[in-house]
């Protein structure tokens, strides 16, 4: 299943080259939908009881260089794979109902992007991971550059895209060197292997870990993007075509966070502990900076873009709490953020079509004749600001929970991010949907076709809000395994093997919140066991 999951999108994309122009979009949608079906099948077959990888494929790919074609699913990636499949189906469908220039190439690149992203998520060989990680860039380079829009008085789409590529490749090329160094040092003259599981058993000496850690961290932090490494984001986000941006922001940013969990924490535990606070500072800076920038931006895309920086800051903080809670929350939040931000960009696209602008100051009153659109947007907004009752709330709660246990000072700062998210999310909603409607802006209801794309995505948010255990239950074991290497904690806080009875040593406020809104013990909706 896992092989066909990986290659189905590309196969459909290539066959799509022969489809007539009118149908190629629908053909691509079918391809994404089939992939989604396979991802669901994979999830259905996923056994949350077994530790380690499932559904593995392991073939010698380049024996001369020690590189294997090795794939596998575990709790860390199973939902990210599903997220990828869901968002791609939505975006491709949304693009298919609109006219695209050179549609054959557009959809081929979209689907190639899906294959590369899925590959990055399920690769279990370090080098294969790096390969897919870099490969993701190629289709998005073309999609942003050739289908993006030039900005008046600003850089062209091609220039903005080049900036993005150079930024992101700085990280990933260094990561290539670091990955090879890791394998060679670990092999110590023996047979070289890039298998992540094997490498985790032969940790490097602390000195090597330090530089290798930063080479990897650079790649992942740029991808997210984190504060100070986000320079490519504003231009690229303004240039990108919106359906592409939806998956880019929704999924690709998560590959960076996922990389920390999959690669950095298990392989470089000493360096992780050593640099924990540095990364946490970067994460908090991202939260604060992203939130503040999101207040002030007037371009709708950038509000969403900067809010993503803040959200990814949260996720990073959760991972680097080095507690099982934090990692659980981070994974949940990755899925949540993807599910929120992709519909957000699709709504932005719909709003931009109606108003002819992406400037908040010139928008308003969109809700007047469009109650359904307004309702959907409201759900997305409330999820973005992590309203209690939404899955985002639970994700953030877990992250903060982990952070409180690990570094209480950082947790207090991070909390301010929660408050700020309310401001920018509501501001975005009010400025577009409420207020007086300026001249020349039409308030039109969602068309049926767009509704068919948007409603299922919003339903995913609602569904996850009702039943976050779906994710938490399956990720828990892998998430705690990922952090154990790093978190054989200095404070001696060992985590019991069965997470369910874990005592919650927290300030009573947060404990109370957990009781109310469904921590691990009492899932929302009463499905407690």
Partner 1 sequence: MAFQAPAIDYAALSPVIALTAGICVVLMTAVLRALRRTAAGLTLLTLATTAGLLIWQWGDSVDLVSGALRLDDLAISISLIAVLTAAFAVLLSLREPAVEQAGPGEYHALLLGSVLGMVLLAQAQNLVSFFVAIETLSIPLYILCATDLIRERSLESGLKYLIVGSLGSATLLYGMAFLYGGSGSTDFSGIATGIGADGVLGDPLVLVGIAMTGVGLAFKSSIAPFHQWTPDVYEGAPTPVTSFMAVATKAAAFAVFVRFFDVALAPQASEWQPALAVLAAASIVIGNVGALGQDSLKRLLGYSGIAQAGYILGGLVVASEAGIEALVFYLAAYAFMNLAAFSVIVARERETPYGDDIRAVRGLGAERPLLAWPLTISMLALAGLPATAGFIGKLYLIEALVEGDYTWLAVFIAVGTMVSLAYYLRVVAAMWMRSGEEGATATAIAGASPEADPIDPEAGRRPYLAGPALLAAAAVVFFGIIPQPLVEFAQHAGASLF
Which chain residues interact with partner 1 by CB under 8 A?
61-65, 67, 102, 127, 131-132, 134-135, 137-138, 141-142, 145-146, 150, 156-159, 161-162, 165-166, 169-170, 173-174, 176-177, 180-181, 184, 192
181 versus 285: smaller Cβ distance to partner 1: 181
Closest contact distance (angstroms) between CB of 130 and partner 1 is 8
Among residues 263 and 506, whose Cβ is nearest to partner 1? 263
Find the helix packing angle between 300-320 and 324-355, rounded to 10°: 180
Distance CA 524, CA 529 (A): 12
C-beta closer to partner 1: residue 228 or 409: 228
Whether 248 and 465 have beta carbons less than 8 Å apart is answered as: no
Shortest Cβ distance from residue 213 to partner 1 (Å)? Answer: 15
Of residues 174 and 330, the one with the C-beta less far from partner 1: 174
**Do 417 and 314 form a contact (C-beta atoms < 8 A)?**
yes
Instruction: CB nearer to partner 1: give 116 or 465.
Output: 116
Residues in CB range of 464: below 8 A, 6 or more apart = 335, 336, 339, 391, 470, 471
Min dist CB 63 to partner 1, Å, is 7
Measured from the CB of residue 228, what is the shortest distance to partner 1 in angstroms? 18
CA angle 159, 346, 10 (to 5 degrees): 70
State in angstroms the smallest separation of the CB of 120 from partner 1.
Answer: 11
Distance, CA of 34 to CA of 216 (rounded, Å): 33
Residue 194 or 275 with smaller CB distance to partner 1: 194
Query: Between 143 and 380, whose beta carbon lies closer to partner 1?
Result: 143
Which lies closer to partner 1 via its Cβ, residue 57 or residue 192?
192
Cα 107 to Cα 95: distance, rounded to the nearest angstrom: 9
Report the nearest approach of partner 1 to the CB of residue 162 (Å): 6
- Residue closer to partner 1 by CB (options 182, 276) is 182
**Cβ pair 391, 465 in contact under 8 A:** yes
**CB of residue 53 to partner 1, shortest distance in Å:** 23
Q: How far apart are CA 174 and CA 433, in angstroms?
A: 45
Name the 3-class secondary structure at 61: strand
Supply the minimum distance, in Å, between the C-beta of residue 156 and partner 1. 4
Per the rule left: phi > 0, alpha: psi between -120 and 50, beta: everything else, 28 is alpha
Alpha helices in 188-299 (DSSP H): 196-201, 206-223, 233-239, 242-247, 253-259, 265-267, 269-296
CB of 138 to partner 1, least distance (A): 6
Contact 305, 249 (CB under 8 A): yes
Rank residues 189 and 440 by Cβ distance to partner 1 and give the closer one: 189
CA dihedral of 439, 440, 444, 448, whole degrees rounded to 10: -160
Dihedral class, residue 435 (left if φ above 0, else alpha if ψ from -120 to 50, else beta): left
Tell me how far apart the alpha carbons of residues 271 and 212 are, in angstroms, rounded to a whole number: 9
Is the CB of 94 or the CB of 106 nearer to partner 1?
106
Strand partners, 59: 69
* 160-163: Cβ within 8 A, 24+ apart: 160/232, 160/235, 160/236, 160/238, 160/239, 161/236, 161/239, 163/231, 163/232, 163/235, 163/236
Strands 54-62, 67-73: pairing kind: antiparallel
Taking the C-alpha atoms of residue 472 and residue 527, their distance in angstroms, rounded to an integer, is 13
Helix 157-187 × helix 137-147 angle, to 10°: 170
Shortest distance in whole angstroms from residue 150 CB to partner 1: 6
Smallest distance, partner 1 to C-beta of residue 233, A: 18
């Amino acid at each position: 299943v896992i092989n066909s999951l990986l290659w189905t999108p590309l196969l459909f994309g290539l066959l799509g080259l022969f489809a007539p122009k009118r149908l190629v979009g629908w053909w691509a949608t079918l391809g994404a939908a089939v992939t989604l079906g396979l991802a669901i099948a994979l999830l259905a077959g996923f056994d949350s009881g077994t530790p380690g990888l499932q559904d593995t494929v392991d073939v010698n790919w380049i024996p001369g260089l020690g590189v294997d074609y090795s794939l596998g699913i575990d709790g860390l990636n199973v939902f990210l794979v599903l997220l990828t499949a869901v968002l791609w189906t939505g975006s491709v469908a949304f693009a298919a109902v609109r006219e695209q220039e050179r549609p054959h190439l557009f959809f081929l690149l979209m689907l190639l992007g899906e294959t590369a992203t899925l590959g990055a998520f399920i690769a279990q060989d370090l080098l294969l991971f790096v390969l897919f990680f870099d490969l993701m860039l190629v289709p998005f380079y073309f999609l942003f550059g050739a289908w993006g829009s030039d900005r008046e008085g600003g850089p062209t789409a091609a220039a903005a895209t080049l900036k993005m590529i150079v930024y992101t490749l700085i990280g990933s090329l260094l990561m290539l060197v670091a990955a090879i160094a890791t394998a060679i040092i670990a092999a110590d003259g023996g047979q070289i292997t890039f298998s992540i599981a094997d490498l985790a058993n032969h940790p490097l000496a602390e000195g090597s870990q330090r530089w290798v850690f930063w080479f990897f961290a650079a790649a992942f932090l740029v991808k997210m993007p984190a504060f100070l490494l986000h320079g490519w984001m504003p231009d690229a986000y303004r240039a990108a075509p919106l359906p592409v941006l939806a998956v880019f922001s929704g999924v690709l940013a998560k590959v960076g966070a996922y990389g920390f969990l999959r690669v950095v924490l298990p392989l470089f535990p000493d360096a992780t502990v050593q640099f924990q606070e540095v990364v946490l500072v970067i994460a908090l800076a991202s939260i604060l900076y992203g939130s503040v920038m999101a207040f002030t931006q007037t371009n709708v895309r950038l509000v969403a873009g900067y809010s993503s920086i803040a959200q990814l800051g949260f996720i990073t903080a959760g991972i680097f709490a080095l507690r099982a809670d934090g990692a659980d929350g981070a994974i949940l939040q990755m899925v949540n953020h993807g599910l929120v931000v992709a519909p957000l960009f699709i709504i932005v696209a719909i709003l931009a079509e109606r108003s002819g602008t992406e400037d908040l100051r010139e928008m308003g009153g969109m809700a007047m004749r469009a109650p359904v659109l307004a309702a959907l947007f409201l759900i997305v907004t409330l999820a973005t600001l992590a309203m209690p009752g939404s899955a985002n709330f639970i994700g953030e709660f877990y992250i903060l929970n982990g952070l409180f246990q690990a570094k209480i000072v950082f947790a207090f700062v991070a909390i301010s991010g929660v408050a700020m998210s309310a401001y920018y999310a509501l501001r975005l909603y009010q400025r577009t949907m409420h207020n007086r409607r300026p001249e020349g802006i039409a308030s039109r209801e969602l068309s049926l076709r767009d509704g068919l794309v948007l409603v299922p995505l919003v339903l995913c948010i609602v569904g996850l809000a009702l039943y976050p255990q779906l994710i938490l239950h399956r990720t828990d074991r892998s998430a705690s395994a990922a952090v154990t290497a790093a978190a054989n904690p200095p404070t001696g806080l060992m985590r019991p093997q069965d997470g369910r009875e874990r005592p919650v040593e927290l300030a009573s406020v947060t404990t109370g919140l957990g009781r109310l809104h469904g921590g691990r013990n009492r899932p929302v909706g009463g499905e407690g066991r």
